[in-house]
Amino acid sequence: MSQASEKPLTRLLSMAVKVETPEVKAVLLSFLCNFVLLASYYILRPLRDTMATVFGAEELENLFTGTFVITFLCAPIYAAVAARVRLERFLPGLFWFWLLNILVFYVLFQVAPQDRWVAAGYFWWFSVVNLFLISVFWTFMADIFSTRQAPRLFAFIAAGGSTGAIAGPIITTLLVETVGAGGLLLIAAAGFLVVILLIHLLMREKEKLRITKQDVQQTTLNHTLPGNPFRGFGLLMKSPYLLAQAAFMLLLTWVATVTYFLQADLIAKSYAGVESRTIAFANLDLIVNVASALILIFGLGRAIQRFGITASLVLTPVVMMGAFCGLAAAPTLLMVQITRALQRITQYAIARPSREILFTVVDQESRYKAKNVIDTVVYRFGDLSAAWMQAGLRMANFGVLGAAALGLAASAAWAAVAFGMGRRYEAVRDTDKKPSEAISAAY
């Protein structure tokens, strides 16, 4: 893309994001990659939620337990492969592997479409893979753009994901009754092929930016990340900055799991058929993602630049405290739906994109290894612990009020952690030291 053609495009993009001319191609490729990735994700996701109802909504805590065990096993395997394969091959290779997994499930759905254990297998597979693929994408973004670029650009890049997340449920709703679950898997597999191509283009663009622009990440991808398979766990435990990230993620998942259980029970009781449940989940996804895209395109980036990252991080738990108070005061079907919608909109459009900015100040090894542990193992441990707490509340007949109380307590703790984490980031972002040195100096 020539400089002459980039200037008008820069002016057009500046309506939504403050982008500089040398960044245009990388930002557009990142937006498009996130679009296709999340569109494919949201084709696969309603199938995951539907498989939970096939296995049994009353046994969700067992599905969550299996998910955590598999995630814990996969994290060191991921690190071991990263220690042996150069990052320039490792990144697209992950998506090739997941694409092959989709084709395996396509065959299984043709052979045994109503089998409970095939349903459980898909639930476990997707629940593990979805965290890895999103974590890998945002790790890559933090490895391209610097701490000075991320507050300007990450909201727009995240908007690519939200618009893709709008396309995914639409495709699912329109085609599920025509092509069935197997056909949706093939469409998602085609999306993964496009993602692989875009990753290759982004790797080339990263190298161009590294050579021509000063305020980008200066890391390269032509090397491995040596270390033992549990290196990510070690990096996490040694860094107060990363431990704060882990606490943030744990509490985020507690809040998300509380609302997920309420939603799953509602859908299972309200819809009898698999296809109707899939459509119900997809329609809810569509509402959430339209709202998220609007916030990301027109609000978050400007808000971060005006009010700072700490305010952005704290906003979501504060909103959820209000939502759970409303749910406790009026434990109705409508309030359950509103609470779930608010949780997902604020998580996707505010909390998660804001959190990703914080990884621009850590070293490359921590981005690819410790961040992966936080995004997968810690996330699924949060799911698991919250799921069993929900099961205990259900056995004690606390119902919606018990879930609301748990969600309120988790949200209050989450707000405190978010405030501290934002202040830590602000303490190191403007330093001229290397990332690891800057973080150490903050303590």
Q: What is the pLDDT of residue 8?
A: 64
Q: Is the pLDDT of residue 77 over 90?
A: yes
Q: Considering only 17-21, 59-63, 91-95, 431-435, which range has the smallest mean pLDDT? A: 431-435
Per-residue pLDDT, averaged over 95-116, amounts to: 88
Position 5 confidence tier, pLDDT thresholds 50, 70, 90: very low
Where are the domains positioned within the chain? 16-214+238-441
Q: What is the pTM of this model?
A: 0.84
Q: Which amino acid is at 288?
A: V
Proportion of the chain above pLDDT 70, given as a percent? 86
Tokens 């990096």, residue located:
235
pLDDT tens for each residue of 238-286: 999 999 999 999 999 999 988 887 776 666 666 666 556 666 666 776 7
Distances in Å between the alpha carbon of 232 and those of 142, 144, 228, 253, 381? 17, 20, 9, 20, 16
Q: Is the pLDDT of residue 290 over 80?
A: yes
Q: What is the pLDDT of residue 38?
A: 93
Q: Considering only 191-205, 222-236, 381-395, which range has the smallest mean pLDDT? A: 381-395
DSSP string, 137-199: HHHHHHHHB-TTTHHHHHHHHHHHHHHHHHHHHHHHHHHHHHHHHHHHHHHHHHHHHHHHHHH
The sign of the CA dihedral 242, 248, 251, 252 is negative
Q: Which two tokens stand for residue 109?
A: 């759905």
pLDDT tens for each residue of 332-350: 777 887 888 889 899 888 8
pLDDT tens for each residue of 299-343: 777 778 778 899 999 999 999 999 999 988 887 777 887 888 889
CATH pick for 16-214+238-441 out of 2.40.50.100, 1.20.1250.20, 3.30.460.80, 3.60.15.10: 1.20.1250.20
The sign of the CA dihedral 184, 190, 193, 195 is negative
When comparing pLDDT for 389 and 234, which is higher?
Answer: 234
Distances in Å between the alpha carbon of 223 and those of 71, 85, 219? 25, 8, 10
Q: Is the pLDDT of residue 207 over 90?
A: yes
Per-residue pLDDT, averaged over 391-420, amounts to: 85
| 5 CB burial (10 A radius; 0-12, 13-18, 19+) | exposed
Mean model confidence pLDDT for the chain: 84
Position 55 confidence tier, pLDDT thresholds 50, 70, 90: low
CB 230 within 8 A of CB 372: no
